[in-house]
Structure 1
Amino acid sequence: MRSLKNIYFYYPKESVSAERLSQLTQACKDNGFNIVEADNEADVVICIGDDGVYLQGVRHTGFRSDCLYIGISEEDQAGLYEGFLLDDYQEMFDTLKQETFEVQNFPLIDVSINGATPFYCLNEASIRSSIIKTIAIDVYIDDRHFERFRGDGLIVATPTGSAGYNKSTQGAILDPAVPCFQLTELASLNNNHYRTLGSSLILAENKTLRLEVIQDGNDYPIIGLDNEAYSIRNIQHITLTMSGKSIQTIKLPGDTYWDRLKHIFL
C-alpha cells in the first residue's frame, strides 16, 4: 500500500456537527496528514458514523482496493466496521502514523442483474417481493438447478454481511477470513406443493449462484444492495459470485471482528 498521507472524510452532512468536523480536520493537519476533496486521491477514507454510513462511504468511493477504509463513530453507534471512537480520535491518527498495523480484508460479491455490469456489495444483496404476494425464484448453483423457492425473498450475504440482515433471518455468522458467501431464505413456503432447503446455504468462493425470477406477476421486485434499495422492472435473473476483490481496513490488536461481534450482540 502507498504512503498514507491523503485523507478523505465521508459523512452525512446532517449527522456530523460543525464543531466535531472542525476538531477532526484540525487534528488531521496537526498530525501531518492532508485533507483531499476528491475521494480518488485519498490513501485513507474515513467514514464518520455507524455501519450504514460506512457502507455508503465504501459505495460512494467505488469500493477501492488501493486505500484504507476506516470507520469512526460515537460510543452508541459502534458497529462491526467502526474501529475508533470520535471521543478518542487521536488514537486513530496515532495508529495511521505508525504504519505498523495489520490490514484486514473484507471480501465483496458481484451482483449482475439481467446480465448487466455487476454491482459490488460489501454486506449483502437481497431480492424481495414488492407486492403482497410470494415471489417464486429458481435457484441454480453452477448452472445446475437446486430448488424452486417461493416466499418473501432471498438474501445473499458476504462474511461480514452475515451478521446483519442475514443474522436476523436465522442465517449463520461467517468468519470474514473464509472466502465464501451465503444464501438465506425469507419466509419460505414449505408444504405439500412447495419445498425448499429451509436453511441457509454456504457456498465456496468459486461457485456461481443464479436466481431466475418466475414471471407470475412479481417481476418488479425490490433489489437491496447493501443498504440501498433499487426497483428494476422485468428482472429475469440475477447472477452472484465472489468478486475476487476486497476492501481493506485496520485490524487493531485486541479489537478483532469477534470482539466487536461480542460487544454488539452479547
Structure 2
Amino acid sequence: MKNRVITIHTNDTNVSLKTKKVLTRKLEGSGFIPSDVLEKETELIVCIGGDGALLEGIHKLGFPDIPFIGINTGHLGFFQEISPNQLDDFIFNYKTGKYRLQTLSAVKAVIKNEHGESFEHIGLNEIVIRGEDSHPVHLNISIGGSFIERFSGDGILVATPAGSTAYNYSLGGCIVDPRLTLIQVTPIAPMNTTAYRSFTSSILLPSDLSLGIIPEYMKKHGIKITTDHLEYTYQDLSNISIQFPDKIVNLLRFETYDFWNKVKSKFL
C-alpha cells in the first residue's frame, strides 16, 4: 500500500502549533502519514499560518511540483483555503477527490554583476527593486529589448497575477485574475517633475516579453532585491532581467472556491 505522506509547514504562533497538533491527529486517524519535512512520498503540503507562512513554505521547500493548501491562522489569508474549524471537511474532500488545482505563475529575476557573476531569484507574489537604505534609484528600463524609460523614484515592483492583490494592490496596482499569464510593473513613489519623468501607473506585459533593468547608482549605495519576503543587496549590479520561470505553484482548491468571491470577501 502506498504511503500517503502529507508534509506540514507552520509558523510558531500558539494557534498554528495547536492547529498542527489537531491536524496531525486527524490525518493519522484517516490513514495519512504527517511529516515535518518534504519526503519522497509527499503528495500534499499543508501550510498553517497566514499568507506569509505559505510563501515561506514555498521558498523553503524550493517551489516543488507538489500541491499546497493553506490553513489560515493569520490575518488576511488570501491564499489560504480553509480555517482551523474545517479540518474534517478538508480531509474528507481531499480523500474523496473533491478538489481541483489552481496553477499560479511565478516570476524570476536574473541578476548579473560587474564581475560576470549571475544570480537568480524567484517570487510567487512579486519582485521588488529599490535602493539600499531607502535611497532613491534611477533605473533604465527596457521591454522586449527596446528602451522605454529612465525611471526615478523609490523603486519598482514586478507582480504576478497571484501577487496583484498583495503589495502591488497597496501601491495602487490593479487586481489581475490568476488565470491570466502576465506580469505587472508598478512604480513605487515615482518622480514626475521637470527634471525626472517616470510612468506613474502600472504596466501589464505578456509572458513573451522580458523586462530589462540597468540601474544607475552611486557605488556607496547598492540595489536591494526583494522576492516575496526575502531580501538581497548587490553593490556591483550591472543589469537585471525579469522573466517567467519554468516553476509554477499548484494550490489545492475545493469546489466552492472562486477567485472573485475571495476578492470580494477580503477587500470589499
Alignment TM-score, normalising by the size of structure 1: 0.92
Q: Is the CA contact 2:16–2:48 (under 8 Å) kept in the aligned structure 1?
A: no
Match of 2:141 in 1: 139
Instruction: Determine helix, strand or coil for the equivalent of 2:244.
Output: strand
Closer, same or farther in 2 for the Cα pair 1:19/1:169, shift >3 Å? closer
Closer, same or farther in 2 for the Cα pair 1:18/1:147, shift >3 Å? closer
Instruction: Determine helix, strand or coil for the equivalent of 2:248.
Output: strand
Which of these residues, 213, 218, 238, is aligned with residue 236 of structure 1?
Answer: 238
Q: Is the CA contact 1:7–1:35 (under 8 Å) kept in the aligned structure 2?
A: yes
Matched, 1:52 2:52: yes
Q: Give 5+ residue unaligned stretches, structure 1.
A: none
Match of 2:190 in 1: 188
Deviations 1:218-262 (A, max 9, x none): 641221110122222222221111114311112222321222211
- Corresponding letter in the other structure for 2:121: F
Q: Is the CA contact 2:8–2:20 (under 8 Å) kept in the aligned structure 1?
A: no
Structure 1 segment 75-86 matched on structure 2, within 5 A: 77-86=75-84
Match of 2:163 in 1: 161
Structure 1 CA distance for aligned equivalents of residues 3 and 258 of structure 2: 22
What is the deviation of 1:100? 3.6
Instruction: Determine helix, strand or coil for the equivalent of 1:175.
Output: coil
- Corresponding letter in the other structure for 1:25: T
Structure 2 CA distance for aligned equivalents of residues 132 and 176 of structure 1: 31
Q: Is the CA contact 1:126–1:225 (under 8 Å) kept in the aligned structure 2?
A: yes
- Corresponding letter in the other structure for 1:112: V
Structure 2 CA distance for aligned equivalents of residues 4 and 85 of structure 1: 26
Farther-moved stretch of structure 1 (16-25 vs 152-161): 16-25
- Corresponding letter in the other structure for 1:223: I
Match of 1:113 in 2: 111
Q: Is the CA contact 1:138–1:213 (under 8 Å) kept in the aligned structure 2?
A: yes
| Identity level (%) | 26
Match of 1:63 in 2: 63
Match of 2:20 in 1: 21
Deviations 1:46-69 (A, max 9, x none): 00000000100111111112x110
Q: Is the CA contact 2:51–2:78 (under 8 Å) kept in the aligned structure 1?
A: yes
What is the deviation of 1:34? 1.1
Structure 2 CA distance for aligned equivalents of residues 54 and 264 of structure 1: 17
Instruction: Determine helix, strand or coil for the equivalent of 1:29.
Output: helix
Q: Is the CA contact 2:190–2:199 (under 8 Å) kept in the aligned structure 1?
A: no
Match of 1:31 in 2: 30
Aligned length: 262
Structure 1 CA distance for aligned equivalents of residues 3 and 221 of structure 2: 47
What is the deviation of 1:22? 2.0
- Corresponding letter in the other structure for 2:216: I
Structure 1 CA distance for aligned equivalents of residues 103 and 85 of structure 2: 26
Which of these residues, 248, 251, 254, is aligned with residue 250 of structure 2?
Answer: 248
Q: Is the CA contact 1:79–1:260 (under 8 Å) kept in the aligned structure 2?
A: no
What is the deviation of 1:15? 4.5
Matched, 1:209 2:211: yes
Match of 2:85 in 1: 87
Instruction: Determine helix, strand or coil for the equivalent of 2:192.
Output: coil
Closer, same or farther in 2 for the Cα pair 1:17/1:147, shift >3 Å? closer
Closer, same or farther in 2 for the Cα pair 1:103/1:133, shift >3 Å? closer
Structure 2 CA distance for aligned equivalents of residues 4 and 145 of structure 1: 54
RMSD: 1.9
Match of 2:43 in 1: 43
Matched, 1:73 2:72: yes
